[in-house]
Amino acid sequence: MSQLASIPGVAKNNLSWFQKWVPAAATNDEGTINVGGQAVPIGSLSFASPTYSNSYNAVVAIDYSISDKDQVRGRWIYNKYNGLDTAAALSAFYEPAPNDNYLYSVSEFHTFTPTLQNEFRASFSRNFNSIQVGSQTFPGMSVIPI
């Protein structure tokens, strides 16, 4: 980190936030990168990341025979998932990633003759997936520089 601080043109505010979220690697096992014309050694980081996932599933089926010639069938399928979005490189930036799915279906079967039948089917499906932006704030910056 001291080598980064000595490079002209490196924003001190950005460097202080980088130091807060990314610790120095124990070893230089990844080679170097070029920063401001200088080779800076880089290394692997190892840290434990929290994660969880909860899944809830339900199916309801209703079949009703109105008569020998008419039947009604209904289905409701529900899938709910709660977990963490672990796509961020650092666990400090993991955010909840809920995903809910609903499916409603109703069918009506009518037999006109032994060789002629009709089916009317209507269904509705909804998927809700929302991954929020974290609440981290960085004084002096509107976003984390990439």
CA separation for the pair 131, 124 (Å, rounded): 24
Domain extent listing, the chain: 1-45, 47-133
In 3D, which of 84, 88, 87, 90 has the Cα closest to residue 17?
Answer: 90
Q: How deeply is 51 buried, as exposed, middle or buried, from its count of CB atoms within 10 A (0-12, 13-18, 19+)?
A: exposed
In 3D, which of 104, 51, 56 has the Cα closest to residue 80?
Answer: 56
Give yes or no for a contact between 93 and 136, defined as CB atoms under 8 angstroms apart.
yes
Question: Tens digit of pLDDT for each residue in 78-87?
Answer: 999 998 887 7
Question: Tens digit of pLDDT for each residue in 52-69?
Answer: 899 999 999 999 999 999
For the chain, give me the number of helices (H) and strands (E)? 2, 7
Which residues sit opposite 80 in a β-bridge? 56, 100
Taking all residues of the chain, what is their mean pLDDT, rounded to a whole number? 85
* Residue 138 pLDDT: 64
CA separation for the pair 98, 145 (Å, rounded): 27
* Residue 142 pLDDT: 61
CA separation for the pair 143, 77 (Å, rounded): 40
pLDDT category of residue 137 using cuts at 50, 70 and 90: low
User: What percent of the chain lies above the pLDDT cut of 70?
Assistant: 89
Q: Find the distance separating the first CA and the last CA of the chain, reported in whole Å.
A: 17
